[in-house]
A and B are shown apart, each in its own frame.
Chain A
Amino acid sequence: MPELTSVVELEGVSFAYRAGVRVLEDVSFEVSAGEFVAIAGPNGGGKTTLLRLVLGLERPTTGTVRVFGQVGGKSVDGARIGYLPQRARVVGEAPVTVREVVSTGRLTSAGIWGPLRRSDREAVARAIETVGLSDRADSPLRTLSGGMQQRALIAKALASEPTLLALDEPTTGVDAESQDSLGVLLEELRTQFGVTILYVSHEFGAVEHVVDRIVLVRGGIVYDGPPSGLPGVWHDPSHTHA
Chain B
Amino acid sequence: MLDLEFMRLALATGVIVGVLAPAVGFFLVERQASLVGDGLGHVAFAGVAVGYLLGISPVLTALVAAVIGALAIEWLRTRRGAAGDQALALVFYTGIAAGVVLISKAGALNVNLFQFLFGSILTVTRADFLTVLVLGVGALTTIAILFRGLVATVLDGEGSRVAGVPVTRLNVVVAVLAALTVAVSMRIVGILLIAALMVLPVIAANRVAWSLRSTFALSMMFGVCAVIAGLSIAYYANLPPGGTIVLVAAGFFLVASGLSAVVRRG
A90 touches B29 (CB 8 A): no
A101 touches B155 (CB 8 A): yes
Overall SS of chain B's interface: helix
Considering only residues 139-189 of chain A, those with a C-beta below 8 Å from chain B are: 140, 156-157, 160, 166
Name the CB-closest residue of A to B157.
A91
Contacting residue for B163 out of A94, A105, A114, A116, CB 8 A: A105
CB-CB under 8 A for A95 and B211, given A81-B163, A105-B159: yes
B159 touches A108 (CB 8 A): no
Q: Given the complex, which residues of B lie within 8 Å of A45, measured CB to CB?
A: none
Is A122 part of the binding interface, using a Cβ–Cβ cutoff of 8 Å?
no
Overall SS of chain A's interface: loop
Contacting residue for B148 out of A55, A94, A95, A112, CB 8 A: A112
Considering only residues 5-63 of chain A, those with a C-beta below 8 Å from chain B are: 55-57
Name the CB-closest residue of A to B144.
A114
Is A85 part of the binding interface, using a Cβ–Cβ cutoff of 8 Å?
yes
Q: Could you tell me the distance in whole angstroms from the C-beta of B114 to the nearest C-beta in chain A?
A: 34
Q: Given the complex, which residues of B lie within 8 Å of A55, measured CB to CB?
A: 162
CA distance A159 to B148 in the complex (A): 14
A95 touches B158 (CB 8 A): no
**Per-position 1/0 for A105-136, Cβ under 8 A of B:** 10110101111100000000000000000000
Considering only residues 153-195 of chain B, those with a C-beta below 8 Å from chain A are: 154-156, 158-166, 170
A140 touches B145 (CB 8 A): no
Q: Could you tell me the distance in whole angstroms from the C-beta of B166 to the nearest C-beta in chain A?
A: 7
CA distance A107 to B146 in the complex (A): 11
Q: Given the complex, which residues of A lie within 8 Å of B160, measured CB to CB?
A: 104, 107
CB-CB under 8 A for A140 and B162, given A92-B31, A92-B155, A93-B29: no
Q: Given the complex, which residues of B lie within 8 Å of A97, measured CB to CB?
A: 210-212
Is B209 part of the binding interface, using a Cβ–Cβ cutoff of 8 Å?
yes
Is A208 part of the binding interface, using a Cβ–Cβ cutoff of 8 Å?
no
Is B149 part of the binding interface, using a Cβ–Cβ cutoff of 8 Å?
yes
CA distance A101 to B166 in the complex (A): 18
CB-CB under 8 A for A104 and B148, given A81-B162, A93-B30: yes
CA distance A104 to B215 in the complex (A): 17
**Per-position 1/0 for B240-253, Cβ under 8 A of A:** 00000000000000
Is B213 part of the binding interface, using a Cβ–Cβ cutoff of 8 Å?
yes
Is A223 part of the binding interface, using a Cβ–Cβ cutoff of 8 Å?
no
**Per-position 1/0 for B21-49, Cβ under 8 A of A:** 00000100111100000000000000000
CB-CB under 8 A for A92 and B211, given A107-B163, A113-B146, A160-B163: no
Is A206 part of the binding interface, using a Cβ–Cβ cutoff of 8 Å?
no
Q: Given the complex, which residues of B lie within 8 Å of A83, measured CB to CB?
A: 158-159, 162-163
Is B152 part of the binding interface, using a Cβ–Cβ cutoff of 8 Å?
yes
Q: Given the complex, which residues of B lie within 8 Å of A160, measured CB to CB?
A: 163
Is B203 part of the binding interface, using a Cβ–Cβ cutoff of 8 Å?
yes
**Per-position 1/0 for B198-231, Cβ under 8 A of A:** 0000010110011111110000000000000000
Q: Given the complex, which residues of B lie within 8 Å of A138, measured CB to CB?
A: 211
CA distance A140 to B214 in the complex (A): 11
Name the CB-closest residue of B to A80.
B163
B162 touches A57 (CB 8 A): yes
A93 touches B148 (CB 8 A): no
A112 touches B211 (CB 8 A): no
Q: Given the complex, which residues of A lie within 8 Å of B215, measured CB to CB?
A: 94-95
Is B76 part of the binding interface, using a Cβ–Cβ cutoff of 8 Å?
no
CA distance A101 to B160 in the complex (A): 12
Give 19 CB contacts A-B under 8 Å.
A56-B162, A75-B164, A85-B158, A90-B156, A91-B32, A92-B32, A93-B29, A93-B206, A94-B26, A95-B206, A95-B214, A96-B212, A100-B212, A103-B148, A104-B156, A104-B159, A107-B149, A112-B148, A112-B165
Given contacts A81-B162, A94-B26, A95-B209, 13 further A-B contacts (CB under 8 A): A56-B161, A57-B158, A57-B161, A91-B155, A92-B30, A92-B32, A94-B205, A97-B210, A100-B213, A107-B164, A112-B165, A115-B148, A140-B211
Q: Which residues of B contact A (CB under 8 A)?
A: 26, 29-32, 145-146, 148-149, 151-152, 154-156, 158-166, 170, 203, 205-206, 209-215
